Amino acid sequence: MTMAAIKEKRLTSLVLKAKNKLSDNDEIPKKYTGAVVSAWENGKELYRRDDLTSLVNAFKDWIFVCASHNASCVAKGTFKLFVATKAGKRLIAPTKDIDKTTFKWLENNSGLHSYLQKANSVKEVINHPFIELLKTPNPFMNRYELLEMTALSLELTGNAYWYIFKDNLGTPRQIWVIPAQNMLIVPSKEKFIAGYVFKRGVETVPFDLSEIVHFKFPNPHNLYYGMAPHASIVNELNTKENMDKFENALFSNNCRMEGVLETEFELNETTFNRVKEQWKQNYAGVNKAGKTAILEKGLKYHNITFPPKDLNNLQGRKNYREIVAAVFGVPLSMLTTENVNLANAYVGDRQYYSNTILPRNRRLEGGINTKLLHLYDDSLFMAFDNPVPDDLDFELRKNVAYVKSGIRTRNEVRIADGLEPRPEGDKLDLGNSGGGAPVANQNAEVTPE
């Protein structure tokens, strides 16, 4: 059997599996799949319109800085596993109650509403096979490396793929990150996606739909593949590449002819080539600038006098840095010390974790909760802890107002901040009872006890 026949057989098998897995309850509307998936795409690898390999190769200079920064900030985030308990159902795993702050944090996560609305109570799961799996997802990775590579793949290609290796009982045992630039999706008119194919050179490996967790950024151009942030600035990337080539040439040969060698004698081809090569070897290049030339008899050097080209691309490089930072959601205060002070650095830090890292955490949560955790129990879900730093100034003013208006005691404020209570701190300050905290006292400072 030829390689093409083997490949066609594998893809046909994927499509048949997708059809067989359909039931009356999960049937995909054919109006949708029939319109989105054309006849020539059905059951075949869907090639991407953008070149993901080129986007991965752009992982340098400011793209390296911004993409790495986002990936490491996602990877260092902490998360917890929860169970939404229902009447008559109990999870066989140790759990503990959650506090009001944690529950409010979960309530504000729109992706978790379906779990919380049907639950009698929500508890944190202390020990579970999923937690152990994430500690060592495979023999060569730990939790941090898994999340960092996943986040980095999303940053560079707009896609990230987990291969879930299961035991005979269908329980996940290992997680592997598959290079997104080598992954292709097989569309299906019945199931929308029939499966996935890893393709590198002549090597082709098909994956069943249930074996892959696909994370992706939104892409209005393609419903199957995500879009990387820097795919939106391809023109700027090309300009930067040409700018680098120009300046390298400028240093190597000054991007122009500096002078000419002149002789009254006629040179044959052999002599001409010898003189040219000797001149190139002895005097061409930035490392040989300023050398004194020794000319053969009859040769004269004439300098070509015209103004040299300046290296005036500094502003262009700054503009490029700002564009890259913008598409990756990284504030300039994290990339440079220019015009940065404590105030705007603090604001930039909060905006970064709120507008850049938090949505990326939500994207990972969605994929893990819907594609992986249901293999253990439908009531399980995970959620990252809030990555946004506390607004310390606001918290200070709020605590001062609460104490002065008699809403909280000093000890209640201390305990909430992880401090030990004081003997005299259990009394409420009722000096302003009934009227709330005076506006003039909102900015008052806490007097050290």
pLDDT in tens, 314-323: 777 888 899 9
Determine, yes or no, domain membership for 25: yes
Which own/partner contact pairs does 269-275 have at CB distance under 8 Å and 24+ positions apart?
Answer: 275/299
Do 178 and 70 share a structural domain? yes
pLDDT score of 85 more than 60:
yes
Ranked by mean pLDDT, the top range of 34-43, 176-185, 238-247, 290-299 is 176-185
Which domain-ending residue is among 250, 271, 303?
303
Instruction: Say what percent of the chain tops pLDDT 70.
Output: 71
Q: Between 267 and 47, where is the model more confident?
A: 267
Q: Could you read off the pLDDT of 368-393 as tens digits, one per residue?
A: 999 999 999 889 999 999 998 776 66
Determine, yes or no, domain membership for 80: yes
Q: Is 155 within 8 Å of 149 (Cβ atoms)?
A: no
Q: What would the mean pLDDT of 396-410 be, rounded to a whole number?
A: 79
Do 252 and 143 share a structural domain? no
Residue 286 bridge partners (DSSP): none
Do 241 and 221 share a structural domain? no
> Would you state the torsion angle of the CA atoms of residues 17, 19, 24, 28, taken in this order, to the nearest 10 degrees?
110
- Which of 22-36, 42-56, 68-82, 355-369 has the weakest average pLDDT? 22-36
- In eight-state DSSP terms, residue 46 is B
Strand segments (E) across 61-153: 79-85, 95-97, 121-125
Which domain-ending residue is among 303, 323, 349?
303
pLDDT score of 274 more than 90:
no
Q: Could you read off the pLDDT of 154-204 as tens digits, one per residue?
A: 999 999 999 999 999 999 999 999 999 999 999 888 888 999 999 988 889
Q: What would the mean pLDDT of 303-312 be, rounded to a whole number?
A: 51
Determine, yes or no, domain membership for 377: no
Determine, yes or no, domain membership for 325: no
pLDDT confidence of 426, banded at 50, 70, 90?
Answer: confident
Ranked by mean pLDDT, the top range of 30-39, 121-130, 418-427 is 121-130
Do 274 and 209 share a structural domain? no
Do 269 and 411 share a structural domain? no
Determine, yes or no, domain membership for 129: yes
Q: What would the mean pLDDT of 214-232 be, rounded to a whole number?
A: 93
Do 220 and 94 share a structural domain? yes
pLDDT confidence of 348, banded at 50, 70, 90?
Answer: confident
Determine, yes or no, domain membership for 108: yes
Integer-rounded Cα radius of gyration of the chain: 32
Do 159 and 34 share a structural domain? yes
Do 264 and 148 share a structural domain? no
Do 17 and 127 share a structural domain? yes
pLDDT score of 126 more than 90:
yes
Domain that holds residue 67: 3-231
pTM (2 d.p.): 0.73
Which domain-ending residue is among 211, 231, 251?
231
Q: Is 286 within 8 Å of 251 (Cβ atoms)?
A: yes
Give pLDDT, residue 1: 56
Ranked by mean pLDDT, the top range of 61-65, 285-289, 308-312 is 61-65
Instruction: Say what percent of the chain tops pLDDT 90.
Output: 39
Give pLDDT, residue 287: 59
- In eight-state DSSP terms, residue 15 is H
What share of residues in the chain are helix, strand, coil (percent, to 5)? 45, 15, 35
Q: What would the mean pLDDT of 299-308 be, rounded to a whole number?
A: 56
Do 246 and 196 share a structural domain? no
Determine, yes or no, domain membership for 317: no
Structurally, the chain folds into a number of domains equal to 3
Do 269 and 122 share a structural domain? no
Q: What would the mean pLDDT of 340-365 be, rounded to a whole number?
A: 88
Determine, yes or no, domain membership for 111: yes
Do 277 and 219 share a structural domain? no
pLDDT score of 100 more than 80:
yes
